Amino acid sequence: MMQHNSHNYIFLQALFYSALLCAREMLAPEDGSADLIRALNNRLVALSFHIREYYWIDMKRLNEIYRYKTEEYSYDAVNKFNIYPDQIPSWLIDFMPGRGGYLIGNLQPAHMDFRFFSLGNLWAIVSSLATIDQSHAILDLIDATWEELVADMPLKICYPALEGQEWRIITGSDPKNTPWSYHNGGSWPTLLWQLTVACIKMNRPEIAEKAIKLAERRISRDKWPEYYDTKGARFIGKQARLFQTWSIAGYLVAKLLLAKPSAANILTNEEDSELKNAFSCMISANPRRKRGRKGFNQPFII
């Protein structure tokens, strides 16, 4: 399932990162493939550095952005993308828990899309695009914002929904993507299996168990719909098809993975030491860390 919102960059990058890892896995380590493996490693390190450094948001980072100086253009500029602090939306201040964080939807010059996209963040955990600390923080955030992201049925495809003028401009007043419906803040039961894989990888299956038990209360009675509507996921989607294979399969795979967690190993990626070392070198050379985080001299745990 693709989230067809043009701002959902993080999901595409997580899939691309996963594809690069899979491609590298299929290459035999011989002379003919050495250049290709080197090119893959370079791209993996560059992509992971960019996403982990500039797309990550938590309470500490949010406070940094809140105090940003603008119009900085030197190499060691802290506000590298010239983000204006006024862009921090009011919903984010209430949404962000004291413990936890996530990868934002998109980052462009002078613009950050702060929305939480479930698939991109879950797949960042599964593929190791996110660090170990970041992966735990994403699960912390889901647990802390359960009423917003899960409510009556797992799992919101994105949060929050686009509304008003923003909805009209970005979706073109799309009647299927009305606020809290379909790809605009709707809840999709098929996301249960990706949530479960991420939880198993981080050894936190209790979060997935809680979500599955919640879904079990009504998903069969509701005839396995494609998606749910409203902020609390209380209604079956207005155009949702029933008896959907991916809704049934998402639930069954989640249950089977919890019963046999080792089966999730074929779906997850662990980062190797070569990538860790290269990433650590890039972190230590990053001017934002030198200026923006005085006294921060511990390496990232990946």
pLDDT at residue 203 tops 90: yes
Q: Contact, 198 vs 125, CB < 8 A? A: yes
> What is the pTM (predicted TM-score) of this model?
0.89
Predicted confidence at residue 4, as pLDDT, reads 45
* pLDDT number for residue 32: 81
- Measured CA to CA, the distance from residue 246 to residue 226 in angstroms comes to 8
Token pair for 247:
């809704």
- Residue type for 39, please? A
Q: Is the dihedral of CA 73, 75, 77, 78 positive or negative?
A: positive
| Residue pLDDT, tens place only, 66-103 | 887 666 665 566 666 667 778 889 999 999 999 999 99
CB within 8 Å of 205: residues ≥ 6 apart: 196, 199, 258, 261
Q: What is the DSSP string of 158-187?
A: EES---HHHHHHHHSS-STT-TTBTTBT-B
3-class DSSP state for residue 252?
helix
Domain positions in the chain are 1-130+272-302, 145-270
